[in-house]
Structure formats: C-alpha cells, structure tokens
Amino acid sequence: MFNSLHEECGVFGIFENKTSYVAQSVYLALYALQHRGQESCGIAINDDGVFLHHKGNGLVPDVFSKDKLERLGMGNMAIGHVRYSTTGGKNINNIQPLVIRHIKGNLALAHNGNLVNATDIRKSFELNGGIFHGTSDTESIAYAIVSNRLYSKSTEEAIEKTMPNLKGAYSCIVMTATKMIAFRDPNGFRPLCIGKTNDGAWCVSSESCALDAIGASFVRDVLPGEIVTIDMDGVHSNKTHCGAKSSLCVFEYIYFARPDSVIDGASVEHARMRAGAFLAKESPVDADIVIGVPDSGLDAALGYANESGIPYGIGFIKNRYIGRSFIQPSQNQREDAVRIKLNAIKENIKGKRVIMIDDSIVRGTTCARIVNLLREAGATEVHMRVSSPPFKHPCYFGTDVDSQENLIACQYDSVDEIAKVIGVDSLAYLSIEATHKLAKESSLSFCDGCFTGNYPIDIPAEQPKDKFEEKMNNFSSYYQVLD
C-alpha cells in the first residue's frame, strides 16, 4: 500500500522438559513477532518424535483458530515462523516451518534472512537428482543440512559442516526428534536471542519482545556464527564459526524491530530516539511542532523534540484495523489509500510549522501523500527529517529494498530536488556516521550496504530468478482457493 519497506521474517522456538501445549506459547510469540512478517505463518510441534504442523497465508490469528491450535495437540517442543517473502515469492510451498522426513529422522526448519548463493546450492542438488517443491532459499538450507546429516553423528555436527557453504544472512531454528538447534550466520545479519520461562522452558526468538509475550526472561543473544543446541541436558554452545567481523543490519534498529525489543545489547527504542537527536543536531530548523509518522517515526520524533527543544506532538492517527489485504479496486482509491491508513489531527497542525520525522523514503510517492495530508490540515511549513540515510543500493540479506531505478534517491541528483518532488519546504537525512552510533550499547558492527553499496561479504554479479517462480506463485494461489 505504501511503497515502503516490508517487514522481515520472524522465528521462535520453545523446548520444554515435559509435554505441554507448546503450540499455544508459539502462537503468542508469533503474535508478538507479527510486525516482522504479515504474509504467512506456521507452527510445527514435536510429540515424542512425531511432527505435526499447520501453516497458511495470512496473519497469525487468521491462520490459527482455537480449533487448529488444539488439533496440533501437545508436545515438548515447537517452532514457528512469520514470513514476508524476499527470495521465493508467495508460493504456498515456501511457507515455514519446512517439515522434512529423511532417512535419519524428522526435521523442521524456520529461517530468517536471505542467502546470496542459494541458487548455486540448489543447482548443485538438482544436478544430483534433488527435487525442490518451493522456490525459497530456506529449502536449500534444509537440503544442505540433511545431506551432511547422512555422514554426521548428529544434526548439530551436520549444521557445523553446512555453515561454511551458506553465504549471506541466516538466523535459523531447527527441530529434530530430541533437540532444538539455533544457529546464526557468522556476520550476525539478523538477530536471534535465547530466553527462559519461570518453569524452566528454553526459548529462541528473533526478538526479545516475543519472550516478554510468553513471560520468559531474556538470557542472552546467540552470537554471530554460534550453534546453540537445547536438549534434555540443557543448553550447549558450539563457537567453531564465531570470530568473523559482525555486520548486523542497522535497519533492525531504525525500522524492523519492535521498540520494546533489545537486540544484541541495545534498546531499539533508545536507538530510534538517538537517531532523532542526531537529526536535530545535524539538521536543525525553526518550527512549532515535531511529529512522527507512525509507527517507527514516533520515537525518532521524540528524540528530535527533546534535543531541539521544539514541542513534540501527535500529528497522525493510524488506523490499525486495515490489514495487508485491504482492497483498492481503482487507481484513485489506491492513490487515496493513505487517507484510510493515516489521518492528520488538524487541531495540532493548523497554522504551524511542522517537522515530520519518518524512518525512510523509498519511492517517495507515499511520502508525498503524507505531506499533502499535513498541507490539507493547515500546516504553514512542512520540514521532513529522515532517521536513516537515503537508500541507493539493493539489499541482498533479507531487506526488501526496491530496485535502484525505483529508488527516489537514485533518480535525483540532490536532496533539494527530492524535497521539491515530495512537496516539503526542506528535507534532510541522517548521516552515515550517525547511523553507526545509534546502538552504542551493541557489541556488534553494522551493515550499511543499502546506503553505501559497501557490503560485508562478496555479492554475486547477478542474482538470478527462478524462471518458474511466477507461474508457481500464480498456481499456488489458485490451488489455495480450490482447497
């Protein structure tokens, strides 16, 4: 609807020392991670080595009714996933967790991230007779693990052998008959943390907010490159692949993660407020009120207001009852969709010079419509401040940044030109230098490739697409209607 960034995937797993309704805990956790993926979701449970799973397209409460959760039954461990597709499209076979039966047992896998060499991995298996049902890179990861498991003493040993061949971002949870295994790529592109409930259950989650949702306490983050195995004997760590220079996606702090999460030691809310404070120092302007574009622009706006001394106010009310499937039958309705999603509070805006804070500008079309809402509400001036640098390059690690020909920062030579296009009196972005200071408590370094074009790992010259992907996506949608 908004020509903006899309959320990323979220993963969650729980391991109990007793049989219980683990699916209920995963359901609540996925609810807390819904912001990371609103396209599809799934849960797989382990009942003494027997895997049951349910998944589908839609939001968590749409896919999982009370009846469906009860039908999953009881078990001692479960993993779940919420998805927004990057590699793989909307093929129903791509919905996670992937559940696989192989000669040495059952395996379920949930993955957040994106591999840059997924096509090469897939091709190597296909040339040896491998059969793939979907188009996601997650299936390539599963194939690689199973292949190595045939010649390994354990699944964690197979994962240890697999990781050097995986290039890119992956924070994964694997469930076997007796263990839950979490592992994170050596760069640490995507977050992953460990928690524990009061009754002794161990949890693994993309964000700490999901731990809060089920009453679990945060224990620690999974280190970049670390393999964490959870079984009846407790938690075991393999740090064979640790030690590389880290490169956590800095946009986790700017946009993706929930404000109440703590990622790799740094509060997301505090990082966003710090972004606003840096903006106030770098790009001051005289105004009467500072407002934020919901939701990720709000904390940055508060930070700007605190630093500048200009009053903070609520400029927009967000309609939270509009789903991603909101129908826009005509072009005019699509163009006016922003009015359905956001409404300006005229009493706070009329006759005032407004500073509007948002997390990013992608194509600029939605931004221009939001600015127009402020003009219609009576703003005398609109000054936009963006709590990230301009997008100028694609992301290969799971962030759905648009192609360069569609990025407004690549279409115009100057910030003043962009300001004119979106209709603001002035425009300024956060500097690259400030971006690296947002999460000063974090123990990791950051990836800023989408801003600078400098990537922490080598990127293939081309990222080929599966030629059957579009047909498979269309077919899967048709199939789902029939089913």
Segment 82-96, tens digit of pLDDT? 998 655 456 788 899
pLDDT value at 317 more than 60: yes
Q: What CA–CA distance (Å, rounded) separates 419 from 364? A: 10
pLDDT value at 328 more than 70: no
Confidence of residue 331 (pLDDT cuts 50, 70, 90): very low
pLDDT of residue 421: 95
| pLDDT mean over 377-400 | 93
Confidence of residue 482 (pLDDT cuts 50, 70, 90): very low
Segment 367-379, tens digit of pLDDT? 999 999 999 999 9
pLDDT of residue 336: 64
pLDDT of residue 474: 47
| pLDDT mean over 350-356 | 98
Q: Tokens in use for 111?
A: 């993955």
What percent of the chain shows pLDDT beyond 70? 89
pLDDT of residue 332: 56
Segment 10-43, tens digit of pLDDT? 999 999 999 999 999 999 999 999 999 989 999 9
pLDDT value at 110 more than 90: yes
pLDDT of residue 379: 98
pLDDT of residue 469: 47
pLDDT value at 1 more than 80: no
Segment 55-106, tens digit of pLDDT? 999 999 999 999 999 999 999 999 999 998 655 456 788 899 999 999 888 9
Q: Which of 267-276, 280-289, 465-474 has the lowest mean pLDDT?
A: 465-474
The ranges of the chain annotated as CATH 3.40.50.2020 are 266-449
pLDDT of residue 380: 98
Report the topology of domain 266-449.
Rossmann fold (3.40.50)
- Residue 41 falls in the annotated catalytic set: no
The ranges of the chain annotated as CATH 3.60.20.10 are 10-246
Confidence of residue 273 (pLDDT cuts 50, 70, 90): very high
pLDDT of residue 427: 98
pTM as predicted = 0.90
Segment 186-219, tens digit of pLDDT? 999 999 999 999 999 999 999 999 999 999 999 9
| pLDDT mean over 234-238 | 97
What percent of the chain shows pLDDT beyond 90? 76
pLDDT of residue 472: 44
pLDDT of residue 387: 97
Is the separation of the CB atoms in 106 and 179 below 8 Å? Answer: no
Confidence of residue 406 (pLDDT cuts 50, 70, 90): confident
Q: What CATH class does 10-246 carry? A: alpha beta
| pLDDT mean over 393-405 | 82
pLDDT value at 325 more than 70: no
pLDDT of residue 91: 73
pLDDT of residue 368: 92
Confidence of residue 7 (pLDDT cuts 50, 70, 90): low
pLDDT of residue 477: 41
What value does the mean pLDDT of the chain take? 89
Segment 111-153, tens digit of pLDDT? 999 999 988 998 888 888 778 888 888 999 999 999 999 999 9
Catalytic residue among 9, 172, 193, 249: 9
